[in-house]
Amino acid sequence: MSAAASSRPAGPAAGSAAGRAAADGAGRGAEQNWPAAGLRSRQSQSQRGPKPLYTTPFGGKYHCDRECHGLRHASQICLTPRCHRCGPQSDTPQYVLFAISHGYALHVDYEHCRDAGSNGPIRVFNPCGICFTVKEKTGL
């Protein structure tokens, strides 16, 4: 018998796929539930509240889909929060939103945005014509 054959664990589960999976996952514990770095989860994860909106530093539109075709050349994409007081409550708002700058909370009310922000200019964000139209047509 060779040295490699004698170092294998004995038993019926040692050679089976279930035995290998149990042995591989034995030391992982809680890490097993987290996706591997760099991989995108394809599971629909439950979200509380409305869907996230995305903006870019130089764009004048907000997007509801991170994979929107309108974002393909963006140098940076920011998950933009909604104002907890006057922010849009629908998943796909179809109206102009205001923000202090890229990455700051999106407001429906211009005056509230002005009060919450600095004395600088207020940015206006229109809905993206690509991702919002697709969402309406497909019913997603």
pLDDT attached to residue 55: 92
Minimal CA–CA distance to 78: which of 53, 54, 50? 54
User: How many residues are given for the chain?
Assistant: 140
Q: Name the 3-class secondary structure at 127.
A: strand
Type and span of the H or E element at 134 = helix 131-138
Q: Whole-number mean pLDDT of the chain?
A: 73
Domain limits, the chain: 53-138
In the numeric block, which tokens belong to residue 44?
A: 């629909």
Q: What is the pTM of this model?
A: 0.59
Q: Report the pLDDT value the prediction gives residue 34, as an integer from 0 to 100.
A: 53
Mean of pLDDT values over 13-27 = 51
Q: Using 50, 70 and 90 to split pLDDT, how confident is the model at 51?
A: confident
Condensed to tens digits (0 to 9), the pLDDT of residues 61-85 reads 999 888 999 899 999 999 998 888 8
Confirm if 50 and 89 have CB atoms less than 8 A apart.
yes
Report pLDDT digits (tens) over 91-130. Answer: 878 889 999 888 888 999 888 888 877 677 889 999 998 8
